[in-house]
Structure 1
Amino acid sequence: MIDQAFADIIEAIDAGLEGRAPRTSPPPWLAWLTVALLRQRARQAWHRYILETRLRDEQQAGESGDVPGLPGWKYNFHGIGCCLTGPDGEAIDVDRHDAEARVIDPYFFAWRIRTVRSIAMPEIRLWRWMPSDSMIVAALTDLRAMGALVYPHDNHLFLLAKPLEDRVRFAAECRFDDEATCDNWLAAFHDRDADDVLLAHRAWVRSCAMNSSQAFKVIDAAREILTPNELAEVCLHHIAGPAGPAMGKALSVLRKTNASGQLDAVSALLDRLSPTDDPPYPAYEAFAYLLERGVANANVVDGFGTFAAVEKAKGFRGNPFLGQYAILALRFLPSRAMDLVRRALRCDTPLCVTEVAALLAGIDQPWCVRELTSALVDVPNASTIAEALRRCAGDIAKRHAAKLYVPPTHDHSRLGFTYEEVAHANARERFEEPLREAQLLADELRARYPVAWGG
């Protein structure tokens, strides 16, 4: 027997397909999510057809190029899958899990929604109610609870239940570029910005954000939907809970608000957290929240030093926040910054190296070149540090990179490539975004530090 909530969605979809008034009123955000899944399934079937008819001979991982006969479409094979990207930006990424492309990866699905969120009405309306990839993924939990999705394996991949699979073709053929058709669907889903609908939607978002298993995926987007008081309530709920991803995300969201009303709660939290027994994410976000609001008392400064000194955080082989601690120190605690900068440039966590190297390349003062050069002397195969030196304006930095960097050599007797070989081959391209993201802060810090700063 079909769950009633699922039956209501099916009835509303049939009403939209038939252009009639529905007998039920499911939440429009879940109704559009279901329609978007029907359209995803159809696009996956088209994706498989293109691979089998136009790209039969281009099936090796790493191959990419233009799709024959489809102007503007590009393909990129990766692992067991392939991503097709259209001229309008639509990205259809599907792995080869089954012959009919029925298996849906929630993250590939949400990513496609992001790429078409301003193109066709179902995805436009879905994004209006769920304005992030991660919220869309989290909302699939509701459909799973209704029995609308089938999980044949013990992982995140799923199939559409038979009542949905039976409607894929009809949804794919629906003319959502026709204004009257769109009006019929909006009416069928009771999709309107009326007070009762908006209130129900906020209640649903709040419920998801309060759920510890969904909060990490939801709270960021909830900031755009909930009132400031509702958002504060959600964040405080997780701050008072166990240390983990939900607590860290709640603190991260509080950082993005202008509110300083949670200073006491965040300060008290630091007394609960252990640098060795708790995951590192919440503590870093707590220090960032306080320092960004001018709280730098002895307790905060001493605690910052203790947590930043951790070499191996719980659950990691190193400290994944070492680079961010170095950057926080450059912003607010300069007396502690140089040691952290030097540690981050030499650590075994590539993300930390990239974050700090990009910031130093953006600041591009003599002290930055000095520290990057010294790190490259110690770690001569560090492609990211060599790239940072190449991005500095002066010839001296570039000469240091050319002289000191030792690129990896390929062992032709082994299959595949090492991490160092891949990092070397992609260093220039991968450094673009971190450097761009660091530039605004780099401009600010350049004016605050002497050109030959020594710590």
Structure 2
Amino acid sequence: MRDSKTARRLEAAVRSVVEETPAPTTDALLREDLLPVAHGWLLLCLLRQLSRQRWMMRMVKERITGRGLDEDEGDVPGYAGWKYCFHGIGCYFEGPGELIDMDFLDEEGATIDAYFFAQRILSLTEPALPESRLLALLPGASLMVDAIDDLRAGGLFGRPELANAFRLPPELEALAEVAESLDLSSDEATTRCLAHLRDFEALATRPAGEVFQVKAEAMRRSRRDWLLAHAGTPGSAEEALAALQGLSTDEEQVRACVRIIEGPVSSATGDAVKRLDALPGAAGSEAVLRLALQRLSPSEHHPYSMHAAAKYLLARDIERERVLAAMLAFARVNPVKGYGGNPFIGDFALLALEYAHEHARELVRLALRSSVPASRQRVAAVLFVIDRPWCHHELAAALQESDREPGALMLAVALSRSQSDLARAMASRWHRAHPLPPSEGPGFTWAEVEDANASGWFDVEVEKAREWVARAAPRLPETLP
């Protein structure tokens, strides 16, 4: 949907919803061409977003800055359960079942950031009809942002000063409060709304909705085509491929994934391989094998696609030795172009623990000594959960080589919580040898922040590690060669 005529039809449909115009007749609906229904719900939700942003702006002016509160975060006075936090040029409010975030780009709070909008929709614990249908049709932030780009291309929004920020036209802004206060809870109001937005999929599930089945199927095909068009786009591929599950057969999904895999290498390539990996069997394996052995270069490409390809192929025992050689070439790159280290060394280490025990010790050691804190944390948490003597040995050896660089403290936390008396003693000795440096000047140093939060951060990593270990347990080694 990128033409102005369709955009104006969508605008008229949304106006009819907000103004509670009587619904069109069944005969009229059946005669009409389809509308991109997800975009209609999106436009209605954008009106409702504007109302929420205006409310938040009033609260900031009246209850926070207007009362002279100078704390960067705290409770919103007079609104139980709501908290605020200023950031950069904006602020976010988090309350019961909703998170509203915005930058202060105008005095009224009328400028909408596409990603902040999507974040709010995804945060809703009890979405109303418009937001519920939007989530069903566009189940992901990047898909919502792509659809907003369609509306912009159709001429509904002016040229933005910032890439992801825009304002609705004044005539639509005037409808925002009414759109937010709509009561769509009754069957009559719901049916009227579905009819105005031409949501034939939903209409077909309502009483006497069988007359809309043909239109509903056409709508599903249209939605599938839109998702397929976005399945090869970096940043949108993972969500688009996931959304296609209910709209296409496994065979159609395989064809879509293979087409992406055989196209230009990007993050979409890895997303497509991951989607294939979730399907039963080995359909598409030839394309994945060509990708891993012929098309990916460790000096040129990000390791994400190689990790996805290696996981797919090793799990199916396809060309194991050649795939391992290709995977190791990527795992040993340090640093990866554009990074301070190898952002996937932790992922490669866990892959080796599952499928390549003969290389696991090397990759685990690289991960525990990585300059990427997230890699050290992830592997340290997994070794803590596995909790075998070789795990204690590797953690202790890496810790003894570490100063207080970012990520090292997680190794000490892992050892200090071990069931091994020796491991706990080694953690205590390291702490004594590496005390927290004295603070200099105002504010907090990174070492102070990490020291205060390491235990909580480790708890988060351990929960994720437990899930991984439970899934991989049958393939994990008792010891390492």
- TM value normalised by structure 2: 0.86
Give the aligned partner of residue 311 of structure 2.
288
Listed one character per residue, the Cα deviations across residues 156-204 of structure 1 (whole Å, up to 9, x for unaligned) are 2222233432321221221233443222111111213222222222122
Maintained 8 Å contact 2:142/2:236 = no
> Deviation at 1:394?
3.9
* Aligned Cα root-mean-square deviation (Å): 2.4
Q: What does residue range 10-25 of structure 1 map to in structure 2 within 5 Å?
A: 10-17=11-18, 18-21=20-23
Give the aligned partner of residue 181 of structure 1.
189
Residues matched between the structures, number: 449
Maintained 8 Å contact 1:84/1:91 = yes
Give the aligned partner of residue 456 of structure 2.
429
Give the aligned partner of residue 313 of structure 1.
336
Give the aligned partner of residue 425 of structure 2.
399
> Deviation at 1:227?
2.7
Secondary structure of 2:112 counterpart: coil
> Deviation at 1:54?
1.9
User: What amino acid does structure 1 have at the position aligned with 2:98?
Assistant: E
Task: Give the share of equivalent positions with the same residue, in percent.
Answer: 35
> Deviation at 1:146?
1.0
Distance 1:309 1:6 in 2: 50
Give the aligned partner of residue 144 of structure 1.
152
Maintained 8 Å contact 1:151/1:159 = no
- Match for residue 102 of structure 1 among 103, 110, 125: 110
- 1:106–1:399 distance in 2 versus 1, CA, 3 Å: farther
> Deviation at 1:294?
2.1
Give the aligned partner of residue 411 of structure 1.
439
Secondary structure of 1:143 counterpart: helix
- Match for residue 233 of structure 1 among 255, 266, 275: 255
- 1:276–1:229 distance in 2 versus 1, CA, 3 Å: same
Maintained 8 Å contact 1:147/1:161 = no
- TM value normalised by structure 1: 0.91
Secondary structure of 2:163 counterpart: coil
Q: Which moved more, 1:119-128 or 1:364-373?
A: 364-373
Q: Which moved more, 1:223-232 or 1:98-107?
A: 223-232
Listed one character per residue, the Cα deviations across residues 287-311 of structure 1 (whole Å, up to 9, x for unaligned) are 1111122225321122122121111
Give the aligned partner of residue 207 of structure 1.
229
Give the aligned partner of residue 204 of structure 2.
none
- 1:329–1:424 distance in 2 versus 1, CA, 3 Å: same
Maintained 8 Å contact 1:365/1:446 = no
Listed one character per residue, the Cα deviations across residues 307-359 of structure 1 (whole Å, up to 9, x for unaligned) are 21111223323211100000000000001000110111111111211211111
- 1:428–1:260 distance in 2 versus 1, CA, 3 Å: same
Give the aligned partner of residue 82 of structure 2.
73
Maintained 8 Å contact 1:90/1:116 = yes
> Deviation at 1:48?
1.1
Q: Is residue 286 of structure 2 the alignment partner of residue 260 of structure 1?
A: no
> Deviation at 1:68?
2.1
Listed one character per residue, the Cα deviations across residues 132-161 of structure 1 (whole Å, up to 9, x for unaligned) are 222222222211211223343242222223
Q: Which moved more, 1:135-144 or 1:71-80?
A: 71-80
Maintained 8 Å contact 1:223/1:231 = yes
Maintained 8 Å contact 1:372/1:389 = yes
> Deviation at 1:450?
6.4
Q: What does residue range 13-412 of structure 1 map to in structure 2 within 5 Å?
A: 13-17=14-18, 18-21=20-23, 26-56=35-65, 57-61=68-72, 63-64=73-74, 66-87=75-96, 89-116=97-124, 118-193=126-201, 194-211=216-233, 214-215=236-237, 218-270=240-292, 271-381=294-404, 382-405=408-431, 406=434, 408-412=436-440
Secondary structure of 1:295 counterpart: coil
> Deviation at 1:241?
1.3
Distance 2:480 2:301 in 1: 33
Maintained 8 Å contact 2:151/2:157 = yes
Distance 1:222 1:279 in 2: 26
Maintained 8 Å contact 1:19/1:185 = no
- 1:369–1:401 distance in 2 versus 1, CA, 3 Å: same
Maintained 8 Å contact 2:313/2:320 = no
Distance 2:168 2:421 in 1: 59
- 1:143–1:152 distance in 2 versus 1, CA, 3 Å: same
Distance 1:222 1:43 in 2: 31
Distance 1:345 1:221 in 2: 36
- 1:225–1:55 distance in 2 versus 1, CA, 3 Å: farther
Distance 1:390 1:81 in 2: 40
Distance 1:218 1:407 in 2: 49
- 1:448–1:20 distance in 2 versus 1, CA, 3 Å: closer
- 1:299–1:14 distance in 2 versus 1, CA, 3 Å: same
User: What amino acid does structure 1 have at the position aligned with 2:359?
Assistant: R
Give the aligned partner of residue 210 of structure 2.
none
